[in-house]
Structure 1
C-alpha cells in the first residue's frame, strides 16, 4: 500500500541473557522521510538497526520493513552502511562498487557507471582507480557509502555515517542524504551528533538505555527543553534565582561583574524574566536570549543532563 510506512516497530524488545538492550521500542517511519535515530553510545541504536535488517531477531515484539516481517526478505531493496566499514583494502572504488552491486543484482558495468557518477559528485573523481588502502579514512567512508547506493535502495540505513568525516565530507553527505530523500528513498541514520539531525530530519526518535524517550519532529523536541538567558553585570545568582520562571542559574566571574547562564522553566519566555529583572532594578549590563536546540533537548530527555524539577515528566 502506498500509505504503508517504510518501517514500523511495535513493542520490540531485545535481550542478551539477563541484559535488556532494547526495551519495548515502538515507532514508524513514513516512506520518503529522513529519520534520525538518536541516542548516546550504548543506547541500543545499533542493535535496533541490526534487528531491522534481520541480522538479530527480536526477543519479543514485531516489526515490518518495506512491508515484510523480516528485513532479509527485502534486502535487495535496502542499502546499509555499518559503522565499521568492511571494504577490501586492495580494491579500487570502482571494483568495490561492481562487486557489492553484483551482490544486489546490479550488472557490473551499470554498477561502475553509477559509482563513477556518485564518486565524482562527492569530489572523488581522481581516486576512482586508487586502491582503497591508499585513501584517507574520510575518502574510504565515502566510497563505502557509494557502494551502498549503487542499487538505488528504497530504504537507506546509515549507522553513525558522519563519524570520522571532516566538515567538507560531512556537508557532502548531508547533500547526498537530501538528494536521496528527494528522489523518494527513505533514509534512516543513527547518530549522537545533534547538528546533523537538526538540519536533516523530518522525524527523530531519542533512545536512552534502550527505551524511547521522544518521538516527533525537531521543533517538537526543542519544545521539551527550557530556554536560556545569558546575563552580564554586577549580578548575584541569588537575585536572579528569585526572578519568575528561573529554574537554574550557573555563574562565572568576569573582569567586571559576572556572567550568568539562566535556565528557564518550560513555557516561560525569556523576555518575561528579563522584564522582571529590569523592573527589580537589577544592574544588567548585557543580555542574550538563546532558544533551546536539539542538543539541549537531547541532553535533557536522555538524562545526560540532570532534569530540572520543573521539566520532569515533560
Structure 2
C-alpha cells in the first residue's frame, strides 16, 4: 500500500498554503511531487515527516495513520542538513544512531556507502572542507544509511556532475527494486520521467495536474512536429502561421494542437513540393507541460 495522502490541508492564520492534496505512492514506486517555489511541496513533505500539524485530511502508511504506524524514513532535504564543522564519519554515525542502529552497524553501513559513493577519503574531514558535490553525497548517505522504508528525495541531483548523477540514478533504481517507497521532488524533469510513473504538479498549494505521466501526456492538448529537409523551410513555414520552437540549417521543431493539425501541415508542405527527409510527431515533454501549467521554471 505504501504512502497515502487524503485531502491534506494546511493553513497559517488565514493563509491556506495547501488545499486538498490527495496522492498515493505505492510500495516499490517513486511518486513525483512537483511545483515551482512556494507551491506547497515543502509543507507537504514536512507534514509527512510529522514536522507540521496539518488542519485537515490524513496521511497513512500501509493503511494506518503515519504517526501511529511510523515507517523508517530517509529524508534528503533540498537545503543542506549537515553540520559543517563536524567530521563526516561522526555525524553519519550520529544520524544512524538516531534511527536506532547500533554503533557497530552504523559504522559498517557508513563505510559501505562511503565506498559506494566514492568519498571514503573524506571520512575524517569536516563537511565544510568538502566540495558541493561531495557534500551532496554525504547528505545522500545520511538518507540511506539506516535502510529506510520510505525515502523522500528533494532535488537529489543538485551539485552532482554527469558521472555522479548516473551513479545516483543507479542507486535510486536499486532502492526501488528493493521495494522502497519514494517521494521524488525535482525541477529536473528528465530525472522525474526516469524514475516516476505517477506525479502531481502543485501551484499555490493546489494540485493542478495529477496522474500517470503517460496519461498526462496523452491528454495534453498539444504535441510537437519534427521536420528535416535539405531545403530552407523558413519562408514556407511562415505561411502556416506556426512558430518554430527550434530551428537550425536542416531541422525544425513546431508545436501543433493535435495530430490533425500536424497532418494538415504535412499535406500543405507536400503540396508546395517540399521534399521532407523526416516528419515526426512527438509527444510533449514533461518539461513543456510543467512550464505551461506552472508558468515558471525555478
Whole-angstrom distance in 1 between the partners of 2:207 and 2:148: 27
Q: 1:293 aligns with which of 285, 288, 298?
A: 285
1:38 maps to 34
2:47 maps to 51
1:16 maps to 12
Query: How has the CA–CA distance of structure 1 residues 150 and 304 changed in structure 2, closer, same or farther, with 3 Å as cutoff?
Result: closer
User: Could you say what the CA RMSD is over the residues aligned between the two structures, in angstroms?
Assistant: 2.7
The answer to whether the Cα contact below 8 Å between 1:235 and 1:282 also exists between their aligned partners in 2 is: no
Give 5+ residue unaligned stretches, structure 1. 242-247, 306-314
SS in 1 for 2:243: strand
SS in 1 for 2:31: strand
The answer to whether the Cα contact below 8 Å between 1:76 and 1:104 also exists between their aligned partners in 2 is: no
1:132-147 paired onto structure 2 within 5 Å: 132-147=127-142
The answer to whether the Cα contact below 8 Å between 1:155 and 1:187 also exists between their aligned partners in 2 is: yes
Give 5+ residue unaligned stretches, structure 2. none
What's the TM-score, normalizing by structure 2?
A: 0.86
Cα distance, 1:52 vs structure 2 = 0.9
Cα distance, 1:171 vs structure 2 = 1.9
Structure with larger RCO (C-alpha < 8 A, sep 6+): 2
Deviates more, 1:128-137 or 1:258-267: 258-267
Deviations 1:15-35 (A, max 9, x none): 122222211111111111111
Whole-angstrom distance in 2 between the partners of 1:235 and 1:259: 14
Cα distance, 1:49 vs structure 2 = 0.4
Query: How has the CA–CA distance of structure 1 residues 199 and 259 changed in structure 2, closer, same or farther, with 3 Å as cutoff?
Result: closer
Whole-angstrom distance in 2 between the partners of 1:249 and 1:95: 57
Q: 2:207 aligns with which of 206, 209, 212?
A: 212
Structure 1 position 266 matched with structure 2 position 258: yes
The list of structure 1 runs, each at least 4 consecutive aligned residues, that deviate by more than 6 angstroms after superposition, is: 251-254
1:67-216 paired onto structure 2 within 5 Å: 67-71=63-67, 73=68, 77-216=72-211
Cα distance, 1:157 vs structure 2 = 0.8
Whole-angstrom distance in 2 between the partners of 1:58 and 1:251: 43
Q: Number of matched residues?
A: 291
1:235 maps to 235
Whole-angstrom distance in 1 between the partners of 2:164 and 2:157: 8
1:312 maps to none
Deviates more, 1:97-106 or 1:159-168: 159-168
SS in 2 for 1:240: coil
The answer to whether the Cα contact below 8 Å between 2:189 and 2:287 also exists between their aligned partners in 1 is: yes
The answer to whether the Cα contact below 8 Å between 1:42 and 1:209 also exists between their aligned partners in 2 is: yes
1:249 maps to 243
Deviates more, 1:222-231 or 1:188-197: 222-231
What's the TM-score, normalizing by structure 1?
A: 0.82
Whole-angstrom distance in 1 between the partners of 2:87 and 2:79: 18
The answer to whether the Cα contact below 8 Å between 1:234 and 1:283 also exists between their aligned partners in 2 is: no
Query: How has the CA–CA distance of structure 1 residues 260 and 236 changed in structure 2, closer, same or farther, with 3 Å as cutoff?
Result: farther
